[in-house]
Structure 1
């Protein structure tokens, strides 16, 4: 057995933990930048609450509220400029993955030359970063515990990422109380993303015994709680369970990584910003599962039996095959059985997506390597899926 595992984020998990943000942030300076979506969003009262907690702790708070879904280079650059001009000591991201990714990118770019886009995973690497605190309000992206910041260059429809261990948040606050007002569809979309993080790290060729343990724990939480929380967003036990699943997913992918669906999903969002990340995964998963299971029978069988214990009496081969059907059923149960036509995406756009689906290296970590034509075929299966 050989593996390495690195995780430098302190996790503060539990109901009511947001109240500790003033004391936590005070450890990193007195002048902070709050990074959020618009002050006109439904989370505006939360932003004001956080400002109050920080100010009570004696901190000066500057507020950048220009985060957009599927963050763009423009939105990250604007936040970077504010961080530089205000000479902040630390950056606090509050929201879903878009807000936390933007905060991590801003914290990094603020004290390095150029812009965040200059530091993508295949370019030059940053030498330092400001401390970043991540406060998640959804359960799916895992961004609060990863060293990744995703953004899109709109001019080229290119979605890529900064990937560097320096940008792990110093602290992640995971407070399930913040998630009870998340809309049903967002809950379903982010919840499925949490499943995908766990599943893809589990089958990843770069996984380890350690990441497998974390990933399987997250999958068990999804199996137990995702349908429940989509049905009743006020179910605090289910919210807590999915917050833990989300955190497990982030901890797993930070070291094992993701596979084919995430690389393709990033390309989908780059071309079609109206499609949420979790939706892009839902579009790809039915075909991806059937392509991949013959190359990872034992692991697919294990997941299938978690999703449906009645598969325990079947052979690994049959349980692995049935795992594909179990994921189909999960998608249907949470309202995520989707097709491209519902997002006004045509065949020509799918062709462009497929042609760029190897831009990111995630496909190389899949148990089966899919070429461009295979990816196009899979995407076309989702064009008018019913």
Structure 2
């Protein structure tokens, strides 16, 4: 066995109703908190009020920054950081999906450091221990951001989507309350749930994986395969929602240790060039071609995952099961209405050229069992342009 390290410092507070504990948890870090969310709409209004009430009851003064957008930008982060500094925030609470949690992490950096959050991306020395403490509360089940040292942000001027990746932005506490995910619409349930699968599958495949990640990832993949179709069909199934929330959390833990691979790196570039495309959509559009590009370089692992999707593959040898795993994953995408292509997402062939040319800006592609060249990335994405 190879040597490896595993570091996951986030305290996980898991279970239905646990969000009610936010007041006492926040008080550990200070009495002035900035709450970071998307703008209020009817489905989340009661939750926002509950969070604020619990914080106030505990004696925590709050200021609410509610300008988070999908694919959060450097401008959004900057405005939040200004507000946090002016308010004198002692901690940051990110409430929502991955965009809200990532914005909260980036605000925690920019509010306490010179320059902007963009100055502390993954290829730099990163932010210092001055970073404000972060509490992450997820309302989706897929991004895993509540347990990762990653904050994804978009620089619109540069058409660049990149990430801070540093131990100092691990949330101190992650509140994983499955009840908060019940209001997710079907499309968001599918996209975030598929992202949870991708985090775990790619960490399992990663050249940087280790035995602990492999065990966690396989368990999470089994959970997603069994439960994502259930919550897609019936969003009120709280037991299946709970299991998906756990698979999501595992995805953060596996990603934090082993990283992700080719589809995530390209997916980030798709989001950077075409901000209207969600992360889950970008992954779904790529996966049929990604699996066919990669499976021969990781036969045993593709076979193991293929057998989870399709138990009939237990009767076939590894090579056959690995090859057929591609079709099994295709069928799963169809089951959750994510059989999509880049054309349907309004990604043009000109966009694809630019996206591929930036395909090696992030290092995720190096984690893939088969490393893609720029021409191979372009060819892969072009095959994703229009799907029958």
Question: Per the shorter chain, which TM-score range?
Answer: over 0.9
- What is the DSSP-based 3-state SS (H/G/I as helix, E as strand, rest coil) of the residue aligned with 1:130? coil
Q: Which residue of 2 aligns with 1:315?
A: 317
Q: How far off is 1:110 after superposition? A: 1.2
Q: Which residue of 2 aligns with 1:168?
A: 170
Q: How far off is 1:49 after superposition? A: 1.2
Q: Which residue of 1 aligns with 2:292?
A: 290
CA contact (8 A) 1:304 1:319 kept: yes
Deviation per residue, 1:81-104 (Å, 9 max, x gap): 111111111110000000000011
State how far apart, in whole Å, the 2-side matches of 1:287 and 1:10 are.
37
- The reply on whether 1:115 has 2:116 as its aligned counterpart is yes
Q: How far off is 1:45 after superposition? A: 2.2
Q: Which residue of 2 aligns with 1:53?
A: 54
**Out of 219, 222, 237, which is 2:221 matched to?**
219
CA contact (8 A) 1:118 1:124 kept: no
- What is the DSSP-based 3-state SS (H/G/I as helix, E as strand, rest coil) of the residue aligned with 1:335? coil
Taking structure 2 as the reference length, the TM-score comes to 0.98
CA contact (8 A) 2:16 2:178 kept: yes
Q: How far off is 1:273 after superposition? A: 0.7
**Out of 236, 239, 246, which is 2:238 matched to?**
236
CA contact (8 A) 1:152 1:159 kept: yes
Q: How far off is 1:41 after superposition? A: 6.2
Cα distance change of structure 1 residues 154 and 324 upon mapping to structure 2, 3 Å threshold:
same
Cα distance change of structure 1 residues 267 and 87 upon mapping to structure 2, 3 Å threshold:
same
Deviation per residue, 1:139-198 (Å, 9 max, x gap): 000000000000000011100000100110000000000011100000000000000000
Q: Which residue of 2 aligns with 1:158?
A: 160
Q: How far off is 1:107 after superposition? A: 1.0
Q: How far off is 1:39 after superposition? A: 2.2
Q: How far off is 1:126 after superposition? A: 1.5
- What is the DSSP-based 3-state SS (H/G/I as helix, E as strand, rest coil) of the residue aligned with 2:258? coil
Deviation per residue, 1:282-316 (Å, 9 max, x gap): 01111110111001000101001111111111100
RMSD across aligned C-alpha pairs, in angstroms?
Answer: 0.9
Query: Which consecutive segments of 4 or more residues in structure 1 shift more than 4 A?
Result: none
Q: Which residue of 2 aligns with 1:246?
A: 248
Q: Which residue of 2 aligns with 1:281?
A: 283
Q: Which residue of 2 aligns with 1:32?
A: 33
Deviation per residue, 1:27-74 (Å, 9 max, x gap): 111111000001246322211110011001111010000111001000
Q: Which residue of 2 aligns with 1:334?
A: 336
Structure 1 residues 1-386: aligned runs within 5 Å: 1=1, 2-40=3-41, 42-128=43-129, 129-386=131-388
Taking structure 1 as the reference length, the TM-score comes to 0.99
State how far apart, in whole Å, the 2-side matches of 1:126 and 1:377 are.
37
Deviation per residue, 1:91-127 (Å, 9 max, x gap): 1000000000001111122111111111001124221
CA contact (8 A) 1:297 1:316 kept: yes
Deviation per residue, 1:323-351 (Å, 9 max, x gap): 11111001000000101221222211111
- What is the DSSP-based 3-state SS (H/G/I as helix, E as strand, rest coil) of the residue aligned with 2:385? coil
Q: Which runs of 5+ in 1 are unaligned?
A: none
Aligned residue pair count: 386
- What is the DSSP-based 3-state SS (H/G/I as helix, E as strand, rest coil) of the residue aligned with 1:327? helix
State how far apart, in whole Å, the 2-side matches of 1:73 and 1:209 are.
37
